[in-house]
Amino acid sequence: MHGLVFLTLCWILSPKADGSCTLPPLWTGDWYDSFYGQLTFSGTSALTGWQVTSFASVITSWTCVSEDTTNNYLLFLGDQPVDFFGMPQNVFRCVKWIKITNNSFYYYARSDIEVNAKNARVKVEARDPAVTSWSTASYCNPTSAPGPEEYHVLIKKGSESLAKQWCPVPLLGTFNYVHNDGTTESCASDSQMTACPSWTTIQFDYTKCSKTQAFSQEGSVYCVNTIAEGDKLLHGPVQPWGGEYSLSQVYLLCDI
Ligand SMILES: *[C@@H]1O[C@H](CO)[C@@H](O)[C@H](O)[C@H]1NC(C)=O
């Protein structure tokens, strides 16, 4: 009942704002995207850092052109010209974002996989100079929506420790693990990882098995987000200290 009342109020208070876009003011500044690396939000609608190649053109900066504040959709249009045999193309990327903390959120790219953009989830279409506004209703509804595991996490640069969350409850303990890189297994004979005592940081004991885990040289990762999918937990950890942030899609898959 409460849920219903809440949704109804949201609908009234947050009308769709197709045709314009104002990014959340808290986002201004530098972030790490788990797939694209460093991003910068500036002004009310500008984003640099998502690098997408379409035909022979590379897009690195984007402008948010439309939003749906009910569904948290943001529709971005690539700033760089994309040319296909003399025909200018527009490249769109719609995202649905979900807040984790003030310093972290995750998102799904709500576009179909585009073969003309190296299989990125973007929409490429011929540019019509007469069209100057685009709706989330048309551009944020892919035929094949991303699966739950296709989420990207964003973490505000300099505020990584504020993005720490409880690790998923089934991981709140000390465990053996086996590392599987897709072809070979390691750490099977001896290993230890523990989420204790912090509950927000997983420590891998590299004295038992030195294979680097979750891109962390120090063997220590913060928990920042957990998504349940059936009997799996999809859990994206982040390397907390120093060096390069390589947040590439790393998941711990736990049978629960
Ligand atoms: C998040 O940001 C909002 C707006 O600036 C602020 O009012 C709120 O206190 C912040 N929350 C936390 C937990 O820092």
pLDDT for 119 beyond 80: yes
- pLDDT tens digits, 69-102: 999 999 999 999 899 999 999 999 999 999 989 9
State in Å: Cα 173 to ligand 1 middle.
Answer: 31
Q: Which residues are CB-neighbours of 154 under 8 A, at least 6 positions away?
A: 31, 32, 33, 34, 39, 104, 105, 106, 107
Choosing from 102, 162, 164 the residue with most ligand 1 atoms within 8 A of its CB, the one to mutate for a pocket test is 102
User: Considering only CA atoms, which residue is closest to atom 10 of ligand 1?
Assistant: 102
Of the candidate ranges 47-51, 58-62, 147-151, the one whose mean pLDDT is the lowest: 147-151
Of the candidate ranges 7-21, 123-137, 185-199, 225-239, the one whose mean pLDDT is the lowest: 7-21
State in Å: Cα 222 to ligand 1 middle.
Answer: 21
Task: Kindly give the number of the ligand 1 atom that is closest to the alpha carbon of 26.
Answer: 5
User: Considering only CA atoms, which residue is closest to atom 14 of ligand 1?
Assistant: 102
State in Å: Cα 102 to ligand 1 middle.
Answer: 6
Most confident of 116-120, 150-154, 203-207, 215-219: 116-120
Task: Kindly give the number of the ligand 1 atom that is closest to the alpha carbon of 101.
Answer: 13
Amino acid 173: pLDDT: 77
Secondary structure (3-state) at 87: strand
Residue ranges around ligand 1 (CB below 6 Å): 26, 102
Secondary structure (3-state) at 178: coil
pLDDT for 244 beyond 60: no
State in Å: Cα 99 to ligand 1 middle.
Answer: 12
Q: Which residue has the tokens 């290993």?
A: 191
Which of the four pLDDT bands, split at 50, 70 and 90, describes residue 233? Answer: low
State in Å: Cα 101 to ligand 1 middle.
Answer: 9
Identify the helix (H) or strand (E) that includes residue 8: helix 2-13
pLDDT for 156 beyond 60: yes
Mean pLDDT within 119-141? 95
Mean pLDDT within 7-30? 67
Whether the CB-CB separation of 62 and 74 falls below 8 Å is answered with no
Amino acid 8: pLDDT: 35
Which of the four pLDDT bands, split at 50, 70 and 90, describes residue 203? Answer: confident
State in Å: Cα 81 to ligand 1 middle.
Answer: 38
Amino acid 30: pLDDT: 95
User: Considering only CA atoms, which residue is closest to atom 2 of ligand 1?
Assistant: 102
Q: Report the distance separating Cα 53 and Cα 239, nearest Å.
A: 27
The total of other beta-carbon atoms located within 10 Å of residue 34's CB is 23
User: Considering only CA atoms, which residue is closest to atom 13 of ligand 1?
Assistant: 102
Identify the helix (H) or strand (E) that includes residue 137: helix 136-139
Amino acid 87: pLDDT: 93
The total of other beta-carbon atoms located within 10 Å of residue 154's CB is 25
Amino acid 9: pLDDT: 37
Percent of residues, the chain, with pLDDT higher than 90: 44
